[in-house]
Amino acid sequence: MTQNPAGYTIRLAGRLDTRWATWFDGFTIRIEPDGTTTLTGVDVDQARLHSLLAKVRDLGIALISLEQA
């Protein structure tokens, strides 16, 4: 079964500098007033999502939430 690409919002603990946007495959990085970081991307398939989450893990950043748009 093939899944269609979707959009995702990923919320991370702490502030991630916007210069990381290219490393995160073009996801938009937004620093929230509460000190967290939100990554937003569209047309993300499962392979790309898993790759992105591996990058979050490799940086040692705590994942707060993952939402499909």
Note down pLDDT in tens along the chain; length 69 residues. 556 778 999 999 999 888 888 888 879 999 999 999 999 999 888 898 999 999 999 999 999 999 998
Of 3.40.50.720, 3.30.390.50, 1.10.630.10, 3.30.70.2380, the CATH number of 6-68 is 3.30.70.2380
Contact 10, 57 (CB under 8 A): no
**What does each C-alpha distance from 42 to 5, 35, 55, 69 come to in angstroms?**
8, 23, 17, 8
Digit-coded pLDDT (tens) for 47-63: 989 999 999 999 999 99
